Structure 1
């Protein structure tokens, strides 16, 4: 049974990773398993609404948005926070993100980006490179040292670019500055020609941060303005998140 669950999740992940419908034969080749097994797994996933069969192949089903909504609810992600990111994207023209630390991991929960961001963009979901991202530095800086070391030991400190900090000592020094100044900046640590800025969201609940990614030239021109904008966004996001927490605690 555990193996079949793994296989079903592999199929679901493969369908989700595709840009369009995926035929069952292509899934079987990609996953290295028999076609009959793939059809059986697809049938189970389709019956539960996780995938849908179309003439061209399989796509994600209508159950997936409901799972995403449940995830956002459990993560205390209000629709107002997503709208804040969109407003910031329109106002200052930078890709914006909302991230969190939970249960030993860092994840990007929401984003407002261009279709083909010049910054390369972050994908929603788990981020195992928190040592190299501005939002990761904000979140790591707020952790007790033991928790931070556990995260770094589990995720590693891979060199994404020649500028990525891979020394725990150098990272510690940078995180002390982040705690002192209330803002994190990374320049070309994740992608050449790209800089990111992040600030913490001052809530009493989960550790969260808002961040922006922008081309290096734009960062040099108005990086400080972007940081100040993010501080205002973080304050508003905190108000929404605290309201959600209060409503959940009181059953509202």
Structure 2
């Protein structure tokens, strides 16, 4: 009896239909979960880098509960981002030495980290490149509400100070093109409700002046951004504080602007971003 059970187990292990972790008795071991995760990533790529779990499950014919499980794993591993139910590919990190002192070019976050400690605020940097708003560096104390969905900065640039700062420097035609690709939608009760309102507001922002917002991007937070130019790219250095510190934004923004100008005057910024 024992030998019969052992033979049955051995046959099950060798049969790819009964043991899906093998593609053939003599072939390499293939983990089905890995295969399915790769299929999800490929499907996401085909959809332009953004899709819901239901869309990915339908495209790959993977059961929806399994799809959710795999997507959670990919999120934990940093291979995907989730913005309000839409799974996205993380933006490729640009070469970051363009907005930090020369001695810190190998670790741009260190520069932001020092500013963060000085201001007791989250700090991060964004740029407008290839028609998209990207966060490319941030301090380590960035709150969960922001770090959980960093790519949301691209699709909701109308809501946060860094995005508004960058979009204000575009032409009206460029802004309209951006909103065709990233329609305006409210994230909080304080967010502009539609494209027309967003366009009017952006047209009123002086392109080279700091921008502030309170609870437009995330409830409980306020942010400010100062614009800088790096070669031919528009960039912004931004800070974020709890909303109960919104009354400090003017002072904090002035200090942030002084730090950014000091880096520019130091001549340590390159124009090859």
**Shorter-chain TM-score tier:** 0.5 to 0.7
Note if 1:121 corresponds to 2:149: no
2:67 — aligned with what? 31
Corresponding residue to 1:227 among 234, 237, 253: 253
Matched, 1:108 2:166: no
TM (norm. structure 2) is: 0.60
In structure 2, the CA distance between the partners of 1:82 and 1:178, relative to structure 1 (3 Å rule), is: farther
Q: Which residue of 2 aligns with 1:152?
A: 179
Residues 13-36 of structure 1 deviation map (CA, whole Å, 9 limit, x = unaligned): 9xxxxxxxxxxxxx9953389x9x
Kept in 2: contact 1:110–1:124 (CA 8 A): no
The superposition leaves residues 134-161 of structure 1 with CA deviations (integer Å, 9 ceiling, x where unpaired) of: 0000000001111110111111111111
Structure 2 Cα separation of the partners of residues 176 and 185 of structure 1? 15
Q: For residue 158 of structure 2, give the secondary structure of its aligned residue in structure 1.
A: coil
Partners of 2:97 and 2:176 in 1: CA distance: 24
Relative to 1, partners in 2 of residues 1:94 and 1:59: Cα closer, same or farther, differing over 3 Å? Answer: closer
Name 2:94's counterpart in structure 1.
Answer: 72
**Of 91, 115, 131, which residue of structure 1 is paired with 2:158?**
131
Determine helix, strand or coil for the equivalent of 2:219: coil
CA RMSD of aligned residues (A): 3.9
- 8 Å CA contact 2:116–2:139 kept in 1: the answer is yes
Change in CA separation of 1:139 and 1:60 when aligned onto 2, cut-off 3 Å: closer
**Do 1:202 and 1:238's aligned partners in 2 also have CA atoms closer than 8 Å?**
no
The 1:75/1:156 distance shift into structure 2, 3 A limit, reads farther
Structure holding more helix per residue? 1
Q: Which residue of 1 aligns with 2:11?
A: none
Distance of aligned partners of 1:124 and 1:240 in 2 relative to their CA distance in 1, 3 Å threshold: farther
Query: Contact 1:111–1:124 at 8 Å: present in 2 too?
Result: no
| Rg (Cα) greater in structure | 2
User: What is aligned with 1:24?
Assistant: none
Aligned residue pairs, count:
200
**Contact 1:202–1:234 (Cα < 8 Å) also in 2:** no
Q: SS of 1:160's equivalent? A: coil
Aligned mates of 1:162, 1:229 — CA distance in 2: 29
Instruction: Tell me, in whole angstroms, the C-alpha distance in 2 between the residues paired with 1:149 and 1:83.
Output: 36
User: More deviation in 127-136 or 173-182?
Assistant: 173-182
Question: Is residue 196 from structure 1 mapped to residue 210 from structure 2 by the alignment?
Answer: no
Q: Could you list the runs of 5+ residues in structure 1 that have no partner in the other structure? A: 14-26, 36-50, 52-57, 62-67
Q: CA 1:202/1:72 → structure 2, altered by over 3 Å: closer, same or farther?
A: closer
Task: Show structure 2 runs of 5+ residues with no match.
Answer: 1-35, 50-62, 80-89, 100-104
Which TM-score applies when normalising by structure 1? 0.65
1: CA distance between counterparts of 2:65 and 2:230? 47
Contact 1:202 1:235 in 2 (8 A): no
> Deviations along 1:193-228, whole A, 9 cap, x unmatched?
2211111013332111011111111121x1111111
